[in-house]
Amino acid sequence: MKRRNFFMLMLGLLPLLTLAQTNPEGHRIAGRIRGVKDTTVVLAHYQYDPTHYVPKDTARVDANGSFVFQGKKSLPEGLYLVVLPKGRYFDMMLAEQQFSFETDTADFIGSMKVTGSVENAAFYGYQQKLKTAFEEMRQVDKQPKTDASAQRLKELQAQARTYRTDFLAKNKSLLTTKVLLASSEPDVPTPPKAANGRPDSLWQFAYYKNHFWDNFDLSDERMLRTPLLQPKIDRYIKELTVQQVDSLSKEADYLVGKAGANKDMKTYMIWYLTSQYERPKVLGTDGLFIHMIEKYWLTRQMPNIDSATLKTVTERVAVLKPLQVGKIFAMPAVGDTLARPLSFNNLAAADYTIMFFYAPHCGHCREAAPKVKKFTDSPAGKGIKVVAIAIEDSKEDWKKFIREFKLTDWMHGYDHKQQIDFRRQYDVVTTPTLYVLDRNKKIIARALPVEQVEDFLNFTRKQAALASPAKPGAVKTATVKAKQTGR
């Protein structure tokens, strides 16, 4: 069974953060598209990433391909799409509220002509210029490889770079320029040499990360209505940041701080980072979720959050805090088949313990139990014990499950008094839910998929072996062998 994260349900609320202001003139965008007629087109703006957009207006296309988007309210500025039937679309920069354009379905960019919009004249002029340059590069590249063709290709590439640089310098005030800069990568200079005489890759990485946001204006709320923001956050926080709670919390605070000059941008940044780490893909990183809730939500830095929502997130943090990686796991107050209290005392010698929360009638649990048993019964499962706790169904169903899958070598528990809320106390929102504990019964993995248990424990054992200091006897033996072989 599956559960949608609470914070993903709030996604639909975020478009309400920025409301268009009423303008006596409103908006009027007249268009003509050759190759389209007698249909409907939609004007929408991007929302955070390339896959989400918000429709703002529709228009009917006549037999000549003409239409008008018109309304009494001005539209929020940003990068828009004009969406045609059959999944076709092209972009428009929305900064002016009244302008016109015409183009052709055969070549939206090359055929675009704009009147009354400095932004779109620049936006499409830039694309048309580079489109022509890239087409010439392709033609040169198809020619036989000679010194002359190679030189010509270099010249064209240099001309394109020069044009881009000049365009950005001459149009600093345009939203078009902000979008183009935001989509660019940091220009990493030649790195110094490392001790081995090679380029210092660590220096390169540090420079790249430190300058990652240089060209992205997080104080401009219009950047929310582009396809660039969310992918940029994902790359920075998920790929360029060590997936460890302290590192993640530091970088999340940095991003919220950079966005803090704009209320809407800050609100989105807090919401998005929180939502991504309630149930993250990397084990042990949901501590960032707790950090975001405690630092920003509970201190009312998230605007317009009602008391019911605050109560929900507070309860969620209360559930997750004692279940973080590194915390000692508390055995539930359950009993065995004779109703005797379960205790970790019988598992003191176990290198690792798997806590297996399940429901006897759950189909996934019935598939998972044999897989776990096969692993723990194998040589690779030596030193690994299982504590299986049924969270629902009758005692008869529980005991039948144990017999059916021949799990008598596991430790079994059942809430005979029916007093434990496993969802709230152990975050068992789906079954089966697995925890992995170390020798000291500290949590080293939570909500681990059954299919990953063996690989996770094999990796954990290897890492522990590498981290363990060599035994004195082993060092002495190695030294003797080295002397005997003359090395």
Mean pLDDT within 430-442: 96
Nearest to 266 by CA among 274, 227, 174: 274
pLDDT at 237 over 70: yes
Per-residue pLDDT, 250 = 98
45's CB contacts (< 8 A; 6+ apart) are 53, 54, 56, 75, 76, 78, 79, 80, 81, 94, 225
* Predicted local distance difference test score (pLDDT) of residue 471: 52
Mean pLDDT, range 86-95, rounded to an integer: 95
3-state secondary structure 114-125: EECCHHHHHHHH
**pLDDT at residue 457 is higher than 80:** yes
| Residue 483, pLDDT above cutoff 90 | no
Average pLDDT, the chain: 90
**Chain segment 199-219, per-residue pLDDT in tens:** 899 999 999 999 999 999 999
Choice among 16-20, 301-305, 386-390, 468-472 with the minimum mean pLDDT: 16-20
Q: What is the pLDDT of residue 469?
A: 64
Per-residue pLDDT averaged across 89-99, rounded? Answer: 97
Query: pLDDT category, 464, cuts 50, 70, 90?
Result: confident
Helix 453-467 × helix 363-377 angle, to 10°: 40
Q: Residue 408: is its pLDDT beyond 50?
A: yes
pLDDT in tens, 156-207: 999 999 999 999 999 999 999 999 999 999 999 999 998 888 989 999 999 9
Tell me the sheet residues that pair with 390: 358, 414
pLDDT of 423 > 90? The answer is yes
Averaged pLDDT for residues 453-458: 95
pLDDT at 129 over 90: yes
Q: What tens digit of pLDDT does each residue of 23-53 get?
A: 457 999 999 999 999 999 999 999 999 999 9
Question: What does the pLDDT look like over 240-252, one tens digit per residue?
Answer: 999 999 999 999 9
Residues in CB range of 300: below 8 A, 6 or more apart: none
- Other Cβ atoms within 10 Å of 470 Cβ, number: 9
Which residue shows structure tokens 């240089």?
214
Mean pLDDT of 422-426: 94
What's the confidence (pLDDT) of residue 481? 38
Q: Is residue 486 very low, low, confident or very high in pLDDT (cuts 50, 70, 90)?
A: very low
Average pLDDT over residues 300-317: 91
* pLDDT the model gives residue 24: 55
Q: pLDDT value at position 470?
A: 54
Mean pLDDT in residue range 404-427: 96
pLDDT reported for residue 112: 97
For residue 310, the model assigns a pLDDT of: 92
CA-nearest of 436, 279, 278, 281 to 357 is 436
477 pLDDT band (50/70/90 cuts)?
very low
Residue 465 has pLDDT above 50, yes or no: yes
Q: What is the pLDDT of residues 338-359, one digit of tens each?
A: 999 999 988 878 999 999 999 9
